[in-house]
A and B are shown apart, each in its own frame.
Chain A
Amino acid sequence: MQVSRYVRHLVATCIVLAVYCAIAGTSALAAPGQSAENLFQQGNTLYGQGNYQEALQIFNNIIAEDGFSGPLLYDLANCYAQSGQTGQAILNYKRAQYLSPRDSDIKGNLELLRKNQGLFQEDLPLTQRMVSLLNLDQWTLLAGLFFVLFTLSILLELRFSSGKYLQRWIGGFCLLGTVIAIMGAFSQYRQQDEAVVTGLDARLLLSPFPSAASVGTIQEGRVVYPTTRHGLFSLVEDQSGRTGWIETKAITSIRALVAPSQQGQHQPDGD
């Protein structure tokens, strides 16, 4: 009877904390202001009329003042794509994709733009294709979910003495799921640092100096992985494994997007 009381206390504590977590998770999302909504509609109207530069200005203003969302970044990327700024377009499609991973429009437009600009992706091996089915957040969420289920299965084992065989199978399955999801998350962890070439005529150099010999050019819109920085240059590796130094201002990190009111400066595109 004493143990039953303990278990009841544990379950009650779990519920209270889970409710707190849910509240904490949702409280961070603030409702957009009315003016931002109006500006957003105004930007879309301008986009529909073909005034891409003005629409760009409006979308960037919303990001500067109120923050960003998946649809907003997607619309911004469409403006960049229509105005021929491939690097910025791909950067914002990737950012939008991070926030709205299940949006088929983002994926479709990104593929279309890449195909149109000759930014063909090399075929990935099967394991990498499996890993890329989910992004880092989705793998992390899956790992967390399996871990919570595993914890619950252990707690239930304390409470109920019958059906131990089934409980152990469930616990083992959850543990296996946790391990696989963690492996998936770690594989996607590298994408955390990815950046997009946003500068025109960017060149990869042998050394981090302007006069250094060039390794070759790298096309605007290509995804690169910065590894280290030196002065005004970053050492990057592209998706084909080629490495070289590139001017830091010619690349923009996908995760570096912070609404300027948070940073205290106006820099919606990170460039």
Chain B
Amino acid sequence: MTPCGFRLILTRSNAGRLLLSLIFLAIACLASTRWCQAEATVAASLHPASFSVDRDTTLTVTVNGSRSADVQLPVVAGVSFQERGKSTQMQIVNGSLSSSISYAYQVEAAHPGTYTLPPISVSVDGSTLTTRPITFEVTPSGRTSPKQGGTAAPSTDLSAGETDKVAFLRISELKDTSWAGESIPIRITAYFRQGIKVSLNTLPVLKGNDFVIPQLDQHPRQTEETVNGTVYSALTWESSISAVKEGRRSLSVELDATLLFPHRGNPFPGFGDQDALQDEIFQNFFGGFESKHIKVASQPISIEVKQLPTDHQPHDFSGAIGHFNLLVEAKPTKVAVGDPITLEMTVAGKGNFDRVETPQFPEDPKWKTYPPAAEFKQGDSPSQGKKNFVQTLVVKDDQVTEIPPVSFVYFDPATEKYVTLTSPPIPLSVQRGQAEEAAAPPSASASSVPAAPKTEPKGQNLAGLAPNHLQMGELQRKIMPLYAQQWFVLLLALCTLLLLAVFLWKARLKYLRNNPMVRRKKEMQALFAKNMAGIRQAADNNDSGQYLAACRKALREMLGCYWQIEPSIITLADLQARLPPSSSLIVLFTAAEQGAYAKYSLSAMQIRQYSDQIEKELAELLCK
């Protein structure tokens, strides 16, 4: 097959694009990870949304699904923005890569009032996205009198021990009597005098071990309250507590915080007018803030914790205290013996849900029950919600016509009595069949132990298990997925390289096909190298006949390729017609022709001389 013939076969294929697709696939296979980039979204939030004119707030613009963005902040009269940095986050979960970037800005307002930030434009990957408008309120400075205009902040009086304090804690809306284990609502409020920047180091925690409280919310409600004529920033947590010990118990909470006071001293003593330097602008510019670590504790509150009555306490009482109701549903209600039935029991209401256990399904040999799964959904307040229990039942007798009632017991603190809730029975249609199939053993393979144990097993003795295998098989030290195994990766890499090589080969052929000059030059280079090797070998052998034949062949092939004619038809006349009369190739070709058709031979000296000339002339031919 000639090179030209082979080229024809390859050029008919248009597999280049196919190969490209495949290489990408292979690379994806090798990497074995998914790059799922979701569509970019932007969101902006302002926290807190209400602040005084002498304080600032933080605007956060979050871009999900991209690692770079250009945020164009709007211009709002009286509001200034200062960039506070950005943070990027990348996360790989189950191979899916997600990234987000957050820009933080410090926002300050010159005057009190209600402001609206118009939608913020964010350029992400060439497209422009916008956030929703944000409305925020700027209140007057904390050092000024309570709000002028608008709604006045709630006003209360300071209790004993709270006077002259920059921060204090209060417990409110708490009952003075409780049952042990009862979940009672509690409101905890932390007050900080306005004008002071506060950083909370901890959430409020209970002092002592007499009560327990669930995890408090990281983002308490923020309001302003006026206490004894002073405006305070108030942080409020709504939660519930439970007493764990009977008797009169003391309750108190505490929290750690760091206060940042503005410097009031003159940073430049003796420098002119004191009053001028105590201007707020100078304070903020030169003075900065002074931090102070404090621990704030509430006034202790005494609560009488009563013991639950033991008289007439039902045996299945689990400790649930409050007010509840019970809803029971089952599906399907048409089954065959051995089929699973899902019984869904919902206990809803108000109380200590952590003590609410699964309603009791009566023990009955006609039924087989499985451990239930429970799920709690909180309602509007911490002690409100509903707890959902899902239990699987299997009926073992086709005579069963209904799902028996289930019961749930709780203690009602309002009536101070135990209450038993019982669901109505649920009609059931049971067909005979499939009971035996449940106990049937699965098929055993050839490598299994054929006989069951003779002695009585110690343990659960699960009937119907296929026996142990007797052949241990090859041991290994790690569960390694196939895609991570060396031989598999090597095999894929090899295939990819082969495809890449084929692709490059075809691309090269296509290039040569589209560039005949380059192709001809390459062919001439190959011919030159091959023929010069033959000429040099003949010269080394000092064989005149062989040398002249090699020269004749080289000249014909090189000139044939150069002139684009068949080499075998080139004669001395062609050379004389096409080459300059002074060309040494004519002399050499004449000698070669004489060597071919007459007894003509060259001396060793002539061979060396002609060798240099022919190499030089043919090399020049290549350069043309």
Indicate, yes or no, whether A interacts with B. yes
Residues of A near any B CB (own CB < 8 A): 1-4, 10, 14, 17-18, 20-22, 24-25, 28-32, 36-37, 40-41, 44, 47-53, 62, 66-72, 74-75, 78, 81-84, 95, 98-100, 103-105, 107-109, 111-113, 115-120, 136-137, 140-141, 143-144, 147-148, 150-151, 154-155, 157-158, 161, 164, 171, 175, 178-179, 182, 185-186, 189-190, 192-193, 204, 206-207, 209, 211-219, 225, 227-228, 242, 254-255, 257-259, 261-262
Chain B residues numbered 3-31 whose CB sits less than 8 Å from any CB in chain A:
3, 6, 9-10, 12-13, 15, 18-19, 22, 25-26, 28-29
A147 close to B376 (CB less than 8 A): no
Across the A-B interface, give the 4 residue pairs with the lowest CB-CB distance, nearest first: A108-B442, A118-B370, A50-B457, A216-B375
Q: Tell me how far the C-beta of A174 lies from the nearest C-beta in chain B, rounded to whole angstroms.
A: 10
Interface of B toward A, CB cutoff 8 Å: 1, 3, 6, 9-10, 12-13, 15, 18-19, 22, 25-26, 28-29, 32, 34, 93-95, 212, 214-215, 340, 354, 369-376, 378, 387-388, 392, 438, 441-445, 447-449, 451, 453-462, 464-479, 481-483, 485-488, 490-492, 494-495, 498-499, 501-502
Closest to A174 in B: B22
Contact B476–A136 (Cβ < 8 Å): no
CB-based contact A109/B214 at 8 Å: no
Q: Which residues from chain A contact B449 at a C-beta distance below 8 Å?
A: 44, 48
The answer to whether B476 touches A67, judged by C-beta atoms less than 8 angstroms apart, is: yes
Give Cα A86 to B477, complex, Å. 24
A261 touches B477 (CB 8 A): yes
Q: How far is the CA of A257 from the CA of B475 in the complex (A)?
A: 13
| Known A147-B25, A151-B499; further 18 A-B contacts with Cβ < 8 A | A3-B6, A25-B486, A25-B488, A30-B475, A31-B474, A49-B453, A51-B458, A52-B457, A68-B477, A69-B474, A81-B465, A83-B460, A118-B392, A141-B482, A154-B498, A157-B15, A212-B215, A262-B478
| Residues on A with beta carbons closer than 8 Å to the beta carbon of B18 | 171, 175
Question: Would B215 and A227 count as touching, CB distance under 8 A?
Answer: no
B215→A192 contact, CB < 8 A: no
Number of A-B contacts (CB under 8 A): 271
Interchain CB contact under 8 A, A72 and B28: no
The answer to whether A148 and B460 touch (CB under 8 A), given A75-B469, A189-B94, A192-B94, is no
Q: Can you list 15 A-B pairs, Cβ within 8 angstroms, ordered by A? A: A48-B451, A49-B457, A78-B465, A78-B468, A95-B479, A98-B479, A105-B445, A109-B465, A136-B481, A136-B482, A136-B483, A141-B488, A150-B495, A154-B19, A259-B477
Are the C-beta atoms of A258 and B457 separated by less than 8 Å? no
Residues of B within 8 A of A219 (CB): 371, 373
The answer for the CA separation of A34 and B264 in the assembled complex, in Å, is: 84
Question: Are the CB atoms of A14 and B494 closer together than 8 Å?
Answer: yes
Contact of B462 with A81 in the complex, beta carbons under 8 Å: yes
Given A24-B490, A52-B459, A68-B476, check contact A137 B94 (CB 8 Å).
no
Residues of chain B contacted by A257 (CB below 8 angstroms): 478-479
Most A Cβ at <10 Å: residue of B215, B354, B468:
B468
Task: Using CB atoms, name the residue of chain B closest to A210.
Answer: B215
Query: Which residues of A have CB within 8 Å of B456?
Result: 50
Contact status B94-A104, CB under 8 Å: no
Q: Closest chain B residue to A175 by CB distance? A: B22
Instruction: Name A's interface SS.
Output: helix
Contact B444 A105 (CB under 8 A): yes
B488 and chain A: residue at smallest CB distance: A144
Closest CB-CB distance, A17 to chain B, in whole Å? 5
Does A36 lie within 8 Å of B214, measured CB to CB? no
Closest to B377 in A: A215
In angstroms, how far is the closest chain A Cβ from the Cβ of B32?
8
Task: Kindly state the separation between the CA atoms of A50 and B471 in the bound complex, as whole angstroms.
Answer: 20
- Residue in B9, B374, B454 whose beta carbon sits within 8 Å of that of A216 in the complex: B374
Contacts of B494 in A (CB 8 A): 14, 17-18, 21
**Minimum distance in angstroms from A85 CB to a CB of chain B:** 9
Residue of A at shortest CB range from B495? A151
On chain A, the residues within 8 Å of B438 by CB distance are: 115
On chain B, the residues within 8 Å of A136 by CB distance are 481-483
Nearest neighbor of B21 in chain A, beta-carbon distance: A175
Q: Which of A4, A71, A100, A212 has the largest number of chain B CB atoms within 10 A?
A: A71
